[in-house]
Amino acid sequence: MNYPFQISIVIPLYNEDESLPELVAWIRKVMAENSFTYEIILIDDGSSDKSWDVINQLSVGQSDILASRFNRNYGKSAGLSIGFKLAKGEVVITMDADLQDSPDEIPDLYKMITMEGYDMVSGWKKKRYDPLSKTIPTKLFNAVTRRFSGIQLNDFNCGLKAYKNKVIKAVELYGEMHRYIPVLAKWNGFVKIGEKVVEHRPRKYGVTKFGLERFLYGFLDLLSITFVTKFKKRPMHFFGAWGFSSFLLGFFITLWMVGEKFYKAKMNIPVRDVTDQPLFYIALVVLIVGVQMFLAGYLAELMNSDSHKKNDYLIASQIDKTL
Ligand code: UDP
Ligand code: MG
């Protein structure tokens, strides 16, 4: 596969007009020093400040900028996702627009992808310049994600990452999924995931765009991708199995209760009304839950049968000598 550029730099940004000129100048300097061919892809995520004007000024008389602007603020994942669609470089590097990530890391990241054969390399902000209220939850977040995903990265949420082009074309981002690109990549079979310690700088201009709610949403997203990655293609295996077990349990409890009633009646042993026994209500709940889960699995399976036709399996290579 031939790529028109060695590097695509994808930068999602939201209200970063102060940082942009410095950032773009710095990237251009690094690119020139290493004589890379490159494109800078700027996705303005519906900024309300002068970011778009600044981007326009920066692209006057230059051919290295490709920029899109959202009509409203959709979030960082949306920005990255559009950037990934546009990226034509052999290596795709994402970074934040706020100058917290240093463009000086680009040559090494590029080398790790092209020479050392990594599918993706994630930056690790080993020494951070963030307030404690952010670094402590971040540690927890990383530990949980490591455990769920089995990927041994220290810093999942670092904005500075490098990918082989085909990796970013394979991952589908939605919600706040940008935090889990390594997990999505691994799920698509890109298992050579590396890590590089990168310099982290304090935010120079503007303010952070994410508050503490990032950790709650991040965790919920982790649950959904874990679930989706495991059962997307076969929801019935999950819902069906649990639903059926639950139904069976209820069924046997009911059977037992009816049997007991008849037996005791026959033997003239005094017997409580079925409706007087807690077990009866447990059986009812378990039966209903079972049927519900089974139905949920069935519906998911129905919806899936359409997407199966779409066939989103990722094909690594192909031989076709029929032409
Ligand atoms: N960002 C974005 N859309 C948003 C929020 C943030 O494109 O809705 C961009 C932001 O401009 C920056 C990057 O995502 O380039 C990371 O955001 P920020 O620096 O605020 O996050 P933090 O460094 O605090 O994790
Ligand atoms: Mg930042």
Please name which of 169, 170, 183 lies closest in space to residue 223, comparing C-alpha atoms.
183
Asked, for residue 319, whether it belongs to a domain, the answer is no
For a mutational test of ligand 1's pocket, the pick from 47, 98, 217, i.e. the residue with the most ligand atoms closer than 8 A to its C-beta, is 98
Q: What residues does 195 pair with on adjacent strands?
A: 122
Q: How far does the centroid of ligand 2 lie from the alpha carbon of residue 98, in Å?
A: 6
Give the residue from 180, 203, 231 where a domain finishes.
Answer: 231
Q: Cα–Cα distance between 218 and 180 in angstroms, integer?
A: 9
Do 171 and 227 lie in a common domain? yes
Model's pTM, two decimal places? 0.83
Q: What is the pLDDT of residue 308?
A: 58
Given this model, what pLDDT does residue 312 score?
A: 67
- The residue whose CA has the least distance to atom 22 of ligand 1 is 208
Question: Which domain does 172 fall in, by range?
Answer: 5-231
Closest CA to 185 of 168, 201, 208: 168
Q: Are residues 28 and 147 in the same domain?
A: yes
- Mean pLDDT in runs of 10 for the chain (323 residues)? 93 96 97 97 96 96 94 94 96 96 96 96 89 84 89 92 95 82 91 94 87 83 81 85 95 94 91 87 96 93 73 74 76
> Which two tokens mark 253?
């409890």
User: Do 222 and 246 fall into the same domain?
Assistant: no
Note whether 85 and 179 are same-domain residues. yes
pLDDT value for 292 = 96
CA 35 to chain centre: 33
Contacts by 294-297, CB closer than 8 A, 24 or more apart: 294/239, 294/240, 294/243, 294/244, 294/247, 295/243, 296/235, 296/239, 296/243, 297/235, 297/236, 297/238, 297/239, 297/240, 297/243
| Contact 79 CB / ligand 1 (< 6 Å) | yes
Please indicate whether residue 161, judged by its CB atom, sits closer than 6 Å to ligand 1: no
Report pLDDT for 152.
92
Q: 261 and 221 in one domain?
A: no
User: Of the residues 209, 210, 212, 217, which should be mutated to test ligand 1's pocket, given the most ligand atoms within 8 Å of the CB?
Assistant: 209
First-to-last alpha carbon distance for the chain, in angstroms, is: 19
**What pLDDT was estimated at residue 310?**
62
The answer to whether 84 touches 181, Cβ cutoff 8 Å, is no
Whether residue 62 is found in the same domain as residue 161: yes
